């Protein structure tokens, strides 16, 4: 699937070893996120880009998520322009939660997607 010119995958195509980048804002992240995802809010992304390059696998894909897929598509497009193998996750965290994937509050409990 494509979002404009951005490669897109559904949540069910993701496996546990995939590198997830969550670009939602801090309040959304704190309410609930995918365990192990890297969090860099879209509003801070360009300034914090180095955090992604340090954490992302050198030869792997970066799966970008937000709440529903709009912000993540923009960030994925930016990453592709930087030469990163980035893919937008269709439906974002709402689809993640709907698919029964675990949502963490970061404190050992269940989170929720806001």
What residues act catalytically?
Answer: 66
Kindly report the backbone phi and psi dihedral angles of residue 20, in degrees, each rounded to the nearest multiple of 5, phi listed first. -105, 135
Distance (Å, whole) CA 21 – CA 37: 6
CB 70 within 8 A of CB 53: no
Distance (Å, whole) CA 19 – CA 86: 10
- The 62-65 sheet, strands edge to edge: 2-3, 6-10, 86-90, 62-65, 19-22, 38-39
């Amino acid at each position: 699937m494509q979002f404009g010119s951005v490669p897109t995958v559904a949540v069910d195509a993701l496996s546990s070893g995939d590198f997830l980048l969550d670009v939602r804002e801090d309040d959304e992240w704190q309410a609930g996120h995918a365990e192990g995802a890297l969090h860099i809010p879209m509003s801070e992304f360009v300034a914090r880009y180095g955090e992604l390059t340090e954490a992302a696998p050198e030869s792997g894909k970066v799966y970008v998520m937000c709440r529903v897929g709009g912000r993540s598509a923009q960030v994925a497009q930016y990453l592709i322009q930087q030469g990163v193998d980035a893919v937008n996750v269709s439906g974002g965290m709402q689809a993640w939660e709907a698919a029964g994937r675990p949502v963490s509050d970061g404190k050992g409990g269940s989170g929720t997607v806001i």
